[in-house]
Structure 1
């Protein structure tokens, strides 16, 4: 007997036997076609839980894929913590325009992450709260048939949003203790957000940590810079079906990559 989409994704997450692999998009899945078909479109779908949930379900409703995935960018947490974000376009993802904290390795000037808002307050407003609400809406409307996936930003990437990723990468070499301070300070926000999403209906958290790729960090730097914080946030959640870490870019050590000339 053929599995339902929810059964298929659940079995895949549990590494159980499948009738076939699930066709489910765990990363950002919205397209202009889905927006036009449903009437739920960016930028409103970034800001309003009802519209967000409708567009999150569109990969299943419009294209027949086998999960629902809420949130469509890596800026909701950053905006809530003080970044200026341009959330105005239907055909382009939100963009961070400014970083609220100073991290200057050349001048030796570093803002204190203690100035961040309390973690419990972080969850109660802005687009972060709307994403949490959207997970609950999806669970109610789609949870019997589909697994609900919620996207979050990894702690090293989010710390970079606070002080600029370029500054944070320079800091790995020039002021590693300051980098550790910022990543450690951001980690509880990532953990509490992921847990709130699970508690409100998300079956799976898909955390994106693009600044942890080998395009940004040497492989030997990953565990210290990002890996420990991922474990302490994404790896410390309870409930759900399990979690997925997604790293954009090349995640393999340089010694194992194909030579450029050999790439297809």
Structure 2
């Protein structure tokens, strides 16, 4: 498997991950999943959930609600929809059509690629890297929306996979403390401290919760092959900062054994138990 990934890395075209791939004004759509039960918007923070790769056409975020409801059962929830690609379009790409009969989910695609030919894996990596580059455009657009909408003051951001990368780009663009908490699930974004330092310094009051799984094979192998970078993603490695004390790194391998197995009730319960523990006195 490793030798195959090295071959893919050598053959993939170089794509600048900071190169915008779409018009920022059309990069994001906000879909209200439910209204909050509180009488006023100021009494409860709005929760924004962001999916990762191959979630482009889907508006069903019921899996997210299992996590959200453990922590914020009465809060307004908004789905941040972006051009993340989707499974059906990917499989119709030339070189991947032969996988269609046996691929119905992202998990089944990952399993199938383990024995697929070079061309098929190369195609998937290309789609992945396109979505990877799109995250910066999405982050800029989302930051702009948060800045302009007073109802999103003190909002909560939850992102899975490339959704966590969007959160990093969003926080990088925000100049004020508009976000109260960031939940980063299986984050497909570098853990390098230099990339996060300015964010942590600027958003000193924001709480960051990083959920990692030691058995996330997508981040272990496909992430590096698809991005062409020798970096360690936060879905596998801790976020650290010398002065920012509101960072929690959680190993959730017991309840999230795979990259696609983070958004469910069990993880929500783990987060609730950890975050509701009283802080020990210094």
Greater fraction of residues in helix: 1
TM-score with structure 1 setting the length: 0.37
TM-score with structure 2 setting the length: 0.35
Greater RCO structure (CA 8 Å; 6+ sep): 2
